Structure 1
Amino acid sequence: MPDDTQSLGRCPNCDERITTPWLLVEYEKDDGTEGIWAECPMCEDVVAPE
């Protein structure tokens, strides 16, 4: 079972902590690293957590 408290990073717009339930998309970047898009629970924007 996933840990719902695992942090994905912070919203680049409002600095809110984003956790795994807010994850929308995981993908592989051209350089082979993993990228993610998530919804910020505070500002409700779709962002790449930092």
Structure 2
Amino acid sequence: MSADDSPLGHCPDCGKRIARAWLLVEYEKDDGTEGVWVECPACEDVVAPE
């Protein structure tokens, strides 16, 4: 499995698995954890994967 295939989570809207290749933004949250925004390849929405 390449780095682009590693899963970031699932779309909260449609449940599709989202790979790192769909990553749009990485950021640090106020609590120090990492947050990400990705484009879901199935429903084409920008989401925070679960």
- What TM-score does the superposition give when structure 2 sets the normalisation length? 0.93
* Aligned-partner SS, 1:30: coil
Question: 1:47 corresponds to which letter in structure 2?
Answer: V
- Residue equivalent to 2:43: 43
CA distance in 2, matches of 1:8, 1:31: 19
**Following superposition, which runs of at least 4 residues in structure 1 exceed 3 angstroms of deviation?**
none
- Residue equivalent to 1:29: 29
| Greater share of residues in helix | 2
Percent identity, aligned pairs only, is 69
Question: 1:26 corresponds to which letter in structure 2?
Answer: E
- Whether 2:7 is the aligned partner of 1:12: answer no
Post-superposition offset of 1:37: 0.2
Q: Which runs of 5+ in 2 are unaligned?
A: none
CA distance in 2, matches of 1:45, 1:4: 19
The count of residues paired between Structure 1 and Structure 2 equals: 49
Deviations 1:1-50 (A, max 9, x none): x6121000000000000001100000000000000000000000000000
* Aligned-partner SS, 1:21: helix
